Structure 1
Amino acid sequence: MKLTIIGPWGGYPKQNAASAGYLLEHEGFHLLIDCGSGVLSKLQNILQPEDLGAVIISHYHPDHIADIGVLQHARLIQGFLGKNFPTLPIYGHSFDQHEFTKLSYKNITKGEAYDPSNILAVGPFQILFLKTDHPVPCYAMRIEAGGKALVYTADSSFKEEFIEFSSGADLLLCECNFYGNQNGKSAGHMNSIDAGRFARNAEVKQLLLTHLPHYGNLADIVTEATSEFPGIIKLAAEFDTFIL
């Protein structure tokens, strides 16, 4: 599996950047994980919208879905220009029907409801789900292919169930919206200490911090997480790639 960071920011994109968006590739299949503000613009540096195989959405906050509409229109316009491609499946939970229905648009995209209690097969990927602690229904994902495992926490404060869910993962893509001296629990987010302790207890091979805050010295987040996790820790950055 190859992971490319499209957008690492929480809440809203920094100038000329993007909020949550991650491109996962395996065996020529491209899966976009979340589609926040600015993601479509940044994605086109790597992949054209009509070449996506599927999209999967963790939850319906704007920093994770803001570019769904423009993705739909990009594919619509490319169709008008003569390109032929199948309807794009966009997987999301159906616990917010108002937002879920927006995933379908003409014959361009089709919303597909995932059942969080079952494994979802998307292209070459097997995806397991875990409900997170966040103000709206949100699902973390364990994505497996080729004998490797990526865990994406989506948005959540820490919960003990994460440990078993993420055990032994090759890469933990973990939200980290707060510094170590801040408590993000009431907002449904983790801080750097939470992320480091989580990675250590789950015995993951590498920790990648994302959904980053817009203030402070981000290097401090890595230093703080290192106090709990002795392994490899990196900050998610635009267009960084990771091979699992």
Structure 2
Amino acid sequence: MQLTVLGGCGAWPTAVQACSGYLVEYAGFRLLIDPGYATLPRLLNHSTVDAVNAVLISHGHPDHCADLNPLLRARGLSNEPPSALPVYAPHGAVDAVLALDKPSMLAEAYHLHEFTPGDRFAIGPFTTETWLLPHFVPNAGIRLTTPEAVLAYTGDTGPSPDVLCLAQGADLFLSEATYVHQVPTADAPYLLTARLAGQYAHQAGAARLMLTHLWPGTDPTLSQEAAAETFTHPLCIAAPGLITNLGDEVKTSTSVERNGTLHWNS
């Protein structure tokens, strides 16, 4: 299983960082998770739009799903439209995005599969388990399993014992870490810190930790240092172009750039 980060910025994109977006590939199947703001241009660095086999969305905030609209436009309005794109999302999560165009315009471009967080289902070669995790809107924590590896992704979440269930023994735990050490009081039930993400990864026995959804302007070094207080295995910050092959042994906790693409050190 290979994960390519398209973006990992929370709330809104910056000049150098798109919002949440991840391309997961296994056995020739390409699953796009959370196409947030500005992720489509990043996707086009790695794939054509018609090569995406399915989309999986954790929740309905636009920094996790806004670029579903241009993705469907690029497919549905092309000269030779591909078959309808399966889109998996919690009930109602993508209603606002799909309403950006009149219903008939993109009706043939997608096939919507709505689910309730807590459901388990297959997407191509992936066994998909979901958990309802606390956020401002219904959010699905996502665990993808293949015969070789497990990817666990929080979407956006606040503290919950279910995060440990989600991340248990994962080859890669992709965790929201909006703040470094402390979440503002009003938001504390709905978001995580990098420090707490590190604690969850340690307690769950995850092999690797990737921090994502950092608040714009956050120093990623501080987030990485906070997570490393409790998580001593490899960890890094989600950045566009970072490629992780789950199941590969990684001996260090840093990433390097080779040929313009970020990779874990090995």
Q: What's the TM-score, normalizing by structure 2?
A: 0.85
Provide the rounded CA distance (Å) in 2 between the counterparts of 1:36 and 1:193: 24
Number of the residue aligned with 2:132: 131
Deviates more, 1:190-199 or 1:90-99: 90-99
Aligned to 1:190: 192
Q: Hey, what's the Cα distance between the residues in 2 that align with 1:9 and 1:207?
A: 16
Match of 2:85 in 1: 88
Which 5+ residue runs of structure 1 have no aligned equivalent? none
Counterparts in 2 of 1:1-244, with a 5 A limit?
Answer: 1-78=1-78, 80=79, 83-96=80-93, 98-99=95-96, 102=99, 105-183=106-184, 185-186=187-188, 188-244=190-246
Distance in 2 (CA, whole Å) between partners of 1:134 and 1:141 is: 14
User: What residue identity is the alignment partner of 1:61?
Assistant: H
Q: What CA deviation, in whole Å up to 9, does each residue of 1:174-203 have, x standing for no partner?
A: 000001144474361100111010001001
SS of the equivalent of 1:63 reads helix
Percent of pairs with identical residues: 30
**Aligned to 1:222, what secondary structure does the other structure show?**
helix
Alignment root-mean-square deviation, CA:
1.9
SS of match in other structure, 1:35: coil
Residue type of the alignment partner of 1:228: T
CA–CA separation in structure 1 for the residues paired with 2:157 and 2:211: 13
In 1, Cα distance between the equivalents of 2:107 and 2:162? 39
1:119 CA displacement? 1.5
**Aligned length in residues:** 241
Q: Given residue 91 of structure 1, which amino acid in structure 2 is its aligned partner? A: Y
Structure 1 position 42, deviation (Å): 1.0
Gap change, CA 1:97 and 1:25, over 3 Å in 2: closer
Structure 2 runs not aligned, ≥5 long: 247-266
Structure 1 residues 86 and 98, CA, compared in 2 at 3 Å: closer, same or farther? closer
Supply the distance in 2 between the matched residues of 1:160 and 1:187 (Cα, whole angstroms). 13
Work out the CA distance in 1 between the residues paired with 2:117 and 2:17: 31
SS of match in other structure, 1:130: strand
| 1:169–1:205 Cα contact (<8 Å) kept | yes
> What is the TM-score with the length of structure 1 in the denominator?
0.92
Cα 1:15–1:50 change in 2 (3 A) is same
